[in-house]
Amino acid sequence: MSVNKEIKKVTTNTLHKMKEAGEKITMLTAYDFSFAGIIDGAGIDVILVGDSASNVMAGHETTLPITLDQMIYHASSVIRGVNRCLVVVDLPFGSYQSNSDIALASAIRIMKETGGHTIKLEGGEEVIESIRKIVSAGIPVMGHLGLTPQSIYKFGTYTVRAREEEEANKLRRDARMLEEAGCFAIVLEKIPAALAKEVSQSISIPTIGIGAGPDCDGQVLVMHDMLGINTEFKPRFLRQYLNIHEQASAAVQQYIKDVKAKDFPNATEQY
């Protein structure tokens, strides 16, 4: 029997047990009530209300513009659609970088106003004091290392991170620091598979990979990418399971045809 199937509600503890049992953790993003219900009902372990909402929901080029109030709106919608999975909510850019008091205040707003279960923030040593403070307040924290999209203007591109030894060493150190600070899991984004494997084996908390190879303790994808809602974004690490864009477009074209042809509504579709 898998750890996943045995439990009624997924908690941070469940994820630790899954790592110990060698059972992979599944995570997908969601931003609204309806898709959260579909994803939770299908048996996912974790939903991430990602700040990727800035890209896929609001159409911004980066994750930087989304606000704390907007994240709270998305997260509270997701929570109303979920029965079983663990919900992680991203702290958006600008809501935690200034100092640890502001970081804690933002995390508390997420927990109080959304009903979310945990928060995620990006970075290692630079944000360690904030992580300690949030964890001390009883709020579970997921870390995020490697490609951290809130720092895109520092990196300059979305290419693979930590290929060079110096950056790989910093990532190794940061992962240990996040574990010691009390993070319950860490997202590893777009780093070499061998480094992700080494880090995953060297810490006791689960790693969740995106573009980080098969040896992370779990995997995460952005829902819009894996369902083919967005079809322009095709990085090598992405597996697209559906082409909703094509199917939805065909359905809308058929609706237009039916209305223009006076075929919709028909005799049974009226009062």
* Shortest distance (Å) from residue 135 CB to ligand KIV: 19
Total count of residues recorded for the chain? 271
Query: Can residue 147 be called a binding residue for ligand KIV (CB under 6 A)?
Result: no
* Shortest distance (Å) from residue 173 CB to ligand KIV: 21
* Shortest distance (Å) from residue 56 CB to ligand KIV: 8
Tell me which residues are annotated as active site: 189
Query: Can residue 90 be called a binding residue for ligand KIV (CB under 6 A)?
Result: yes
* Shortest distance (Å) from residue 210 CB to ligand KIV: 5
Residue nearest to ligand KIV (CB): 50
Dist. CA 79–CA 24, nearest whole Å: 23
173-212 residues in contact with ligand KIV (CB under 6 A) are 187, 189, 210
Judge contact between 188 and 196, C-beta under 8 A.
yes
DSSP letters for 49-118: E-TTHHHHTT--SSSTT--HHHHHHHHHHHHTT-SSSEEEEEPPTTSSSS-HHHHHHHHHHHHHHH--SE
Judge contact between 145 and 124, C-beta under 8 A.
yes
**Of the candidates 10, 222, 225, 230, which one interacts with ligand KIV according to CB under 6 A?**
222
Contacts from 223-230 at CB under 8 Å and sequence distance 24+? Answer: 223/28, 223/29, 223/30, 223/31, 223/35, 223/39, 223/56, 224/29, 224/56, 226/28, 229/56, 230/56
Preceding amide of 235 cis, omega within 30: no
* Shortest distance (Å) from residue 29 CB to ligand KIV: 5
User: For the window 22-61, what string marks contact with ligand KIV as x by the rule CB under 6 A?
Assistant: -------x------------------x-xxx---------
Question: Helix or strand or coil: residue 265?
Answer: coil
Which residue number, 46 or 139, has a Cβ lying nearer to ligand KIV? 46
Nearest to 62 by CA among 147, 143, 150, 144: 150
Number of residues forming the site for ligand KIV (CB under 6 A): 11
Which residue number, 48 or 131, has a Cβ lying nearer to ligand KIV? 48
**Of the candidates 10, 220, 224, 230, which one interacts with ligand KIV according to CB under 6 A?**
220
Which residue number, 7 or 193, has a Cβ lying nearer to ligand KIV? 193
| List of residues contacting ligand KIV (CB under 6 A) | 29, 48, 50-52, 90, 187, 189, 210, 220, 222
